[in-house]
């Protein structure tokens, strides 16, 4: 399986988040091949759908699965995202696309070219680069959960475990 991140904007090298995002692409690539697709120059809002359509048609997978980021999507825990990614693999998905929007969000017509799983990172709206930064960290975390890598201890911290026991009583 490959992870393909598609953004209708480019991250400038002088962006505060540039190094952070590249670091997490590199970490994800140690678990799963990863690619970031973005336009070479700034798009007008009315060019975003054509950009997505052109890029998605280049993959030989018909109707691929797309995790689309939108603040109105499903709220997942990190383990929930890990479980979903595992399920896609079990179902034999060859690629998972991660699609983010620009200033005007994602075009509605995207759902006619891909199978959409709409997920939210929070009910708050983030700047697009920050949304990508949170997403790449969470995808890396999900891969670590699936491979029992010590990066993620959230569900296993002593406090979390004792609270789980307490709730079961
Ligand atoms: C600045 S936001 C766009 C806001 C736009 N006004 C809208 O209504 O979608 C740019 C992109 O960042 C992503 N994004 C921002 N906040 C998000 C959140 N809380 N959850 C998921 N994605 C988010 C989405 O992909 C969004 O299209």
- Residue 85 structure tokens: 């990614």
Q: Is the CB of 129 under 6 A from ligand 1?
A: no
- How far, in Å, CA of 119 to CA of 114, rounded? 15
The per-residue pLDDT for 61 is 86
Separation of 129 CA from ligand 1 center, angstroms? 10
**Partners of 102 in the β-ladder:** 105
Q: Is the CB of 106 under 6 A from ligand 1?
A: yes
Separation of 105 CA from ligand 1 center, angstroms? 6
DSSP characters for 2-35?
Answer: EEEEE-SS---TTSTTHHHHHHHHHHHHTTS-EE
What's the maximum distance between 2 C-alpha atoms anywhere in the chain? 58
| Binding residue positions for S-adenosyl-L-methionine | 69, 101, 121-126
Q: What is the pLDDT of residues 67-110, one digit of tens each?
A: 999 999 999 999 999 999 999 999 999 999 999 999 999 999 99
Separation of 127 CA from ligand 1 center, angstroms? 7
- How far, in Å, CA of 79 to CA of 57, rounded? 31
Index of the ligand 1 atom closest to the CA of residue 104: 5
The per-residue pLDDT for 158 is 72
Nearest to 136 by CA among 52, 22, 55: 22
The per-residue pLDDT for 143 is 96
Q: Is the CB of 67 under 6 A from ligand 1?
A: no
List the residue whose alpha carbon is closest to atom 4 of ligand 1. Answer: 105
The per-residue pLDDT for 92 is 92
Low-confidence ranges of the chain (pLDDT < 70): 154-156, 169
The per-residue pLDDT for 168 is 74
The per-residue pLDDT for 167 is 76
CATH 1.10.10.10 fits 2-168, yes or no: no
Distances (CA, A) of 140 to 14, 23, 64, 113, 147: 23, 10, 21, 26, 11
């Amino acid at each position: 399986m490959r992870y393909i991140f598609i953004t209708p904007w480019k991250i400038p090298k002088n962006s505060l988040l540039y190094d952070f995002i590249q670091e997490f692409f590199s970490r994800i690539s140690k678990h799963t091949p990863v690619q970031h697709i973005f336009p070479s120059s700034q798009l007008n809002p009315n060019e975003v759908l054509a950009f997505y359509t052109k890029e998605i048609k280049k993959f030989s997978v018909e109707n691929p699965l797309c995790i689309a980021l939108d603040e109105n999507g499903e709220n997942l825990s990190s383990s929930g995202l890990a479980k979903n990614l595992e399920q896609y693999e079990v179902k034999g998905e060859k690629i998972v696309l991660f699609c983010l929007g620009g200033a005007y969000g994602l075009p509605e017509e995207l759902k006619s070219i891909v199978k959409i799983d709409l997920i939210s990172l929070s009910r708050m709206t983030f700047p697009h680069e920050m949304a990508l930064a949170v997403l790449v960290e969470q995808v890396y975390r999900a891969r670590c959960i699936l491979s029992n890598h010590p990066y993620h201890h959230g569900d296993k911290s002593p406090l979390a475990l004792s609270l789980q026991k307490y709730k079961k009583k």
